[in-house]
Amino acid sequence: MHRENYINVLREEIVETVANHLTPSALKYGYSEIPLETNIKWRPMVLLIGNYSSGKSSLINEFLGAEIQDTGQAPTDDSFTVITYDETLADDAKIQVTEERDGKVLLNDPEYPFSTLRKQGQRFASHFRLKKCNSPFLKDLAIIDTPGMLDSITERDRGYDYQDVIGDLAQKAGLVLVLFDAHKAGTVREAYKSIRETLSAATFEDRIIFVLNRIDECTSFNDLLRVYGTLCWNLSQITGRKDIPMIRLTYSPNAAPKTVGAAGFRKAEYLPLLENQREDLRRAILDTPRRQLDHLASFVEVQGERLIHYMEALSEYREKRRKFRFQKILTGVLVSGLFGAVTAFSVLMLGIPDMILMGSAAGVGAAVFMIFWMSVVQKRQEAAFHQHIQTNIDTLTDVEDQTRKDSWEAVRELVRKHLAKGKGGYSLFELRRDLAILRQRTAQASQEIREAMGEVAALSDDEEADFDIPILSINEISKPVGLGDAYYENFRYTI
């Protein structure tokens, strides 16, 4: 089996591992409302964002080898288009759009990872679509073209939360290309917000590539340097980084003559020197499936770590609550006993020295007091305890090192929210058992994934990989022990 296939099989197996071994506990204990694999289950995605008319659609057409997306000088396309592979046509068929589906299908079909965007409403659904295309470029990935960013537009004009959608898609994407054009190297407002806030929250620096596009339109090499300098300055201001992020310089040869006018078009002499940049960009895009494997491997480790930390905190809460309850009940029993004794003594003081009567009075007195204790005092104390823990949530965990600090930071609010909601419908015993299983499975999965990743790194492009299916032996354990059939049948996904 070749490297690409090995990567694909491994990707599917990592997703399966998440679905089988992390998701059941994540859903059961309220760590997540949707299956954890929702964002990673589909093919690797490359997201293109950027100013309007920065040449996003033209560059996509360039890579796909056909006019798949509409292009034009004015803000042309106000839709999000997911372009994916269609393998049904013969290899030598002309590259074309083979099927189009509208947003509603895309948002509701569980095959696709876009159900999280349903909350954006009707306006968004009508600006979201899928195109299938037989370009070989798409064999192992999908591309998402987006509406150009503008200065004047507001959320109300768009009718959905544009930044939220970009953030959601960036989170799912293995690579995000941020395009600027030579005319608008000073960034527009929406682009500023996307880079400064949305992308930094949704993805990682190493998944973002900045591209200065349409460089053929610079009038001279000097002009190109000025534009490049302006963009570097703007980007360092936006990102707040001292080092300048790597910027690829490119253009779409097929679009270029159209804009300048075939007669007036003269290929600038610096362009041939920069052709390799588009090739680098093409390679970076095609490398997304492999890069995404790294992301998936760390996804399993990070989510595993966080989920374990989350469940540990819940377990600590239950443990504390059990001790507290036991102490208070014991106090109740002692006080009730005392109350019974006082009742018996009162009977004696009334001048009735009858042992049976005194004993009955003590029993009734103690029982009445205990009922009062359990129904009033105990309840109040438990409510106060519950409240106390929520305001002192950090007492539920030790954060002995930076990794633990980071994972606690990520789950602290989730724990608080979960406790605020109430009971949870599981026992401490179950929680501990599931936690022990999860610890063991996460360790095994991380170890096996690391070994398989080592295998990928050692393989060259045309080398045959020698391996058994499944690559990860953890997938032979298909259902987590302890979360049995009843759990799967009774559980309702709350997407």
Ligand X SMILES: Nc1nc2c(ncn2[C@@H]2O[C@H](COP(=O)(O)OP(=O)(O)OP(=O)(O)O)[C@@H](O)[C@H]2O)c(=O)[nH]1
Residues of this chain that bind ligand X (CB under 6 A): 50, 52-58, 71-73, 75-77, 147-148, 213-214, 216-217, 251-252, 255-256, 258-260
CB burial class (10 A; 0-12, 13-18, 19+) of residue 485?
exposed
Separation between Cα atoms, residue 137 and residue 159, nearest integer Å:
33
Between 13 and 62, name the residue whose CB sits nearer to ligand X. 62
CB of 265 to ligand X, least distance (A): 8
Rounded to 5 degrees, φ, ψ at 108 are: -105, -15
Segment 48-77, which members bind Mg ion (CB under 5 A)? 56-57, 77
- Could you say which of ligand X, Mg ion, none residue 73 binds, taking C-beta under 5 to 8 angstroms by partner kind? ligand X
- Could you say which of ligand X, Mg ion, none residue 289 binds, taking C-beta under 5 to 8 angstroms by partner kind? none
Q: Where are the alpha helices (DSSP H) in 350-461?
A: 355-372, 379-391, 402-421, 428-458
Between 83 and 314, name the residue whose CB sits nearer to Mg ion. 83
Between 20 and 53, name the residue whose CB sits nearer to Mg ion. 53
Residue with the CB atom nearest ligand X in the bound state:
148
Separation between Cα atoms, residue 378 and residue 380, nearest integer Å:
5
Segment 130-159, which members bind Mg ion (CB under 5 A)? none
Between 127 and 309, name the residue whose CB sits nearer to ligand X. 127
CB of 156 to ligand X, least distance (A): 20
CB burial class (10 A; 0-12, 13-18, 19+) of residue 243?
exposed
CB of 250 to ligand X, least distance (A): 7
Between 192 and 324, name the residue whose CB sits nearer to ligand X. 192
Site string for Mg ion, 297-316 (x = CB under 5 A): --------------------
Measured from the Cβ of residue 402, the count of other Cβ atoms closer than 10 Å reads 8
Between 23 and 69, name the residue whose CB sits nearer to Mg ion. 69
CB of 63 to ligand X, least distance (A): 12
Rg for the chain, CA atoms, rounded: 31
Between 83 and 483, name the residue whose CB sits nearer to Mg ion. 83
SS3 content of the chain, % helix, strand, coil (to 5): 60, 10, 30
CB of 68 to ligand X, least distance (A): 11
CB of 88 to ligand X, least distance (A): 27
Q: Where are the alpha helices (DSSP H) in 18-99?
A: 23-28, 56-64
Non-local CB neighbours of 165 within 8 Å, separated by 6+ positions: 80, 117, 120, 124
Non-local CB neighbours of 431 within 8 Å, separated by 6+ positions: 29, 311, 314, 315, 318
Between 191 and 415, name the residue whose CB sits nearer to Mg ion. 191
Start-to-end CA span in the chain (Å): 37
- Could you say which of ligand X, Mg ion, none residue 214 binds, taking C-beta under 5 to 8 angstroms by partner kind? ligand X
Residue with the CB atom nearest Mg ion in the bound state:
57
Q: Which residue in 199, 51, 77, 174 sits closest to 131, CA to CA?
A: 77
The token duo for 288 is 């997304």
CB of 228 to Mg ion, least distance (A): 23
Exposure class string for 168-196: b at 16+ Cβ within 10 A, else e: bbbbbbbbbbbbbbbebbebbebbbbbbe
CB of 61 to ligand X, least distance (A): 7
- Could you say which of Mg ion, ligand X, none residue 251 binds, taking C-beta under 5 to 8 angstroms by partner kind? ligand X
CB of 57 to Mg ion, least distance (A): 3
Between 57 and 343, name the residue whose CB sits nearer to Mg ion. 57
CA count, 13 A, side-chain hemisphere, 242: 0
Determine the size of the site formed for Mg ion (CB under 5 A): 3
CB of 107 to ligand X, least distance (A): 21
Q: Helix (H, G, I), strand (E, B), or coil: what is residue 114?
A: coil
**Residue 482 backbone zone (phi > 0: left; psi -120 to 50: alpha; other: beta):** left
Between 261 and 351, name the residue whose CB sits nearer to ligand X. 261
Non-local CB neighbours of 156 within 8 Å, separated by 6+ positions: none
Q: Which residues bind Mg ion (CB under 5 A)?
A: 56-57, 77
